[in-house]
Amino acid sequence: MSAAVTVIDLKDYPIPLYDADLEAKQGMPSQAKRLRQLMVGSDAIIIASPEYNASISAVLKNVLDWTSRSDGNYSPDAYEGKKFAIMSDLPVREAELRSLVHLRAIIEAIGGDVIQKQVSVPNANKAFDAKANLKALP
């Protein structure tokens, strides 16, 4: 069995903050459309996100908002019927998985199916080498 994997970095998909007035005037931004089409064409999606102030990043929330839209309306096509795996980096070893609780709630509200197992990397700022490879964790 094989699978095609597409790895993306949200830095490569700059999109404006979600704004219903902007959407009504200009439609969905092209980069948001690209992300949404990638999601619609996927069977499973893995989201890895840092934890910011006990929640998900604003950039990720913005992507979730835009990709749950189509032609000016709510559209869960990028989420419904999809399996999601979620993971986070944590700033300290003792941190809770607060951001993943929020991420799970958002994805499930949009219609995605988040698998039970969650992954976190504690002390993420020290967990990777210069080539972005994960070091052995203590």
Whether 27 contacts 72, CB under 8 Å: yes
Whether 24 contacts 72, CB under 8 Å: yes
Q: Each residue of 32-88: pLDDT tens digit?
A: 999 999 999 999 999 998 888 888 999 999 999 999 999 899 999 999 999 999 998
Helix ranges, 12-123 (H)? 20-26, 30-40, 58-67, 98-110
- In the numeric block, the tokens 């007035």 are attached to 21
Beta-strand ranges (E) seen in the chain are 44-50, 69-70, 73-74, 83-90, 113-114, 119-122
pLDDT value of position 50:
85
pLDDT value of position 94:
54
